[in-house]
Structure 1
Amino acid sequence: MFGSSPPFYTFNPQSEPADTQAILQAQFGDAITLDNRAEGGSASTLLNMMAGVDGGGAPFAQRIQSSKAQIVLDAHAVNDDLSQSLGPYSDALVAWVQAVRVAGKIAVLEEPGPVCDNSRPYLANYVSAMDNIAAQYSVPLVKQYDYLQTIPNLCSHYTAGIFPDNAIFQIKAQREAAILAPLTRQLIQQPE
């Protein structure tokens, strides 16, 4: 979600959130903005974000209280597979959903795309945990993992096996916007 490009952890301004914003602005106007608060690097895990040690500031439950966002999307899983077991990840994902809702915002989860470097052998398990929590808590879900695996020569679109190119960012953005657009429309149509 950060939009990393080689050299590693360098922010790419053409990223999935930037592409999603362009799609939503084309539908709803320039007032729609996406604020990409993703942190890059291996410290960017869900547990670290919840604890406030991911480089983004205070613990997440505090951060989200002061956020002006109406919809909050989380896409953690790739680095989590490197950093902790599935149980703590699942517990943190439930805590994330609850924190977003306590703050009066709409929670959305997004599956990661697959990786092509064999360094995350259990990523499919994290995706499954996310899908189960989304279903259990009625959280809108952007399904990316299985779909992206159907793209011919997918790994040719990745650098170092984990950094997608702009073509993959655009595909992911279209799928993300398809979930966010109805939520955005509902918010726009709600009386103040």
Structure 2
Amino acid sequence: MKQFIDFIPLFLFFIVYKLDPRTVDVAGQSFELGGIYSATAVLIISSLVVYGALLIRQRKLEKGQWLTLVACLVFGGLTLAFHSETFLKWKAPAVNWLFATAFAGSHFIGDRVLIKRIMGHALTLPEPVWTRLNLAWIAFFLFCGAANLFVAFTFQDIWVDFKVFGSLGMTVLFLVGQGVYLSRHLHDSDPTTPKTED
């Protein structure tokens, strides 16, 4: 579920981007709605609302959520400040490659790979499986970054559609594949140990 919270601002971005340009009056102020720049403003505002609500509710944000929020503010802010969508096109590749770097770095820094730090409390797996799983996440983020960059600068008419639905589709497919892979390695705890109820 956590993975899909990140898509809420993206869906709002997509909806506003697809609107026919129009002027909307709010509290005596006129705003343009529709197109890339108003959609970018909605992306920034909705990201602040979503992650702000999570921060209040959970008293913290995960590092990945901080990275996503900061990237949204930086790349979205630059897009609006310079009136150039090029900055926003670099957001998805940059975020994905930073995630890939973090997962790769965990092979050399710390006592556990990053995926084990994230999921180790819920799963018991052999070390080689954790290593392969972490490598799969690195490959996934590298591929997603490259795919977003390629589409953004090659197929400019559909890059927003791909940014939303392509990214979501790749994430769902990868998570399903991860589930299938993990199902071959999961094993119950010792069956002779009686289960207790809370």
Please report the TM-score for the alignment, with normalisation by the length of structure 1: 0.37
Higher relative contact order (CA 8 A, sep 6+): 1
Please report the TM-score for the alignment, with normalisation by the length of structure 2: 0.36
* Structure with greater helix percent: 2
* Structure with greater strand percent: 1
Q: Which has the larger radius of gyration?
A: 2
